[in-house]
């Protein structure tokens, strides 16, 4: 799919769930659409953004990291299946930008849907590309979607790669280029 980024998210072992997760991102005008397709787990449907939340990563949470292609600055979005969200700005690994609430507000999601599918769930969020550019500078950027799934036995951590001995979504050695050169919406009849 030209113009879209695709990731297969794998769990950090030992996983506490048997869920399978894929993520895709593509541009649509001045928006970035991010879709998570989950098999083996589902939640109640939601069709709008909820209030901002705190510490969403302590239970089921879908995250996106977008970083400068060169440099250390990055943005992190956290989103739960009910539509609660939080946006963080960082100047380097785990170094939050202090006093960045106003800038983070411009990066808030513009849309959200969470809908069940046979055997799973699709979660889709719409993000403002112009605000990403204002925060990080012009593309190209690097990106990584991640997920935390809460199961009966605890939390499972999903990412495209797990290069360290512990799950750590703030490592930059496995972010991939985010190609936004052309719009490429996935086929609306597929779950992926």
Q: What is the CA radius of gyration of the chain?
A: 15
Handedness of CA 174, 178, 179, 185 (dihedral sign): positive
Tell me: the pLDDT tens digits for 153-179? Answer: 899 999 999 988 999 998 877 788 887
- Enumerate the domain spans of the chain: 5-160
pLDDT, position 99: 81
Tell me: the pLDDT tens digits for 76-111? Answer: 999 999 999 999 999 998 889 988 888 889 999 999
Name the architecture of domain 5-160.
Sandwich (2.60)
What is the residue whose two structure tokens read 């239970």?
59
Phi, psi of 171 (to 5 degrees): -80, 140
Pairing of strands 74-79, 141-151: unpaired
More confident residue, 190 or 86: 86
Tally of CB atoms within 10 A around 127: 21
Q: Is the pLDDT of residue 37 over 50?
A: yes
The residues that bridge with 88 in the sheet, in sequence order, are 76
DSSP 8-state assignment for residue 103: H
More confident residue, 112 or 16: 112
The residues that bridge with 96 in the sheet, in sequence order, are 90
């Amino acid at each position: 799919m030209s113009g879209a980024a695709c990731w297969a998210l794998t769990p950090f072992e030992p996983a506490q769930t048997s869920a399978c997760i894929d993520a895709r991102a593509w541009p649509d005008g001045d928006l970035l659409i991010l879709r998570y397709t989950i098999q083996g787990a589902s939640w109640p449907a939601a069709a709008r953004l909820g209030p901002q939340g705190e510490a969403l990563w302590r239970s089921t949470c879908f995250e996106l990291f977008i970083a400068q292609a060169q440099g250390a600055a990055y943005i992190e979005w956290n989103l739960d299946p009910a539509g609660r969200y939080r946006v963080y700005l960082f100047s380097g690994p785990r170094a939050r930008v202090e006093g960045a609430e106003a800038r983070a507000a411009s990066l808030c999601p513009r849309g959200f849907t969470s809908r069940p599918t046979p055997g799973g769930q699709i979660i889709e969020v719409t993000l403002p590309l112009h605000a990403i550019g204002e925060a990080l500078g012009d593309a190209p950027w690097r990106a990584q979607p991640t997920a935390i799934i809460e199961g009966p036995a605890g939390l499972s951590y999903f990412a495209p790669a797990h290069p360290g001995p512990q799950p750590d979504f703030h490592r930059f050695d496995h972010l991939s280029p985010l190609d936004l050169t052309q719009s490429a919406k996935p086929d609306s009849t597929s779950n992926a």
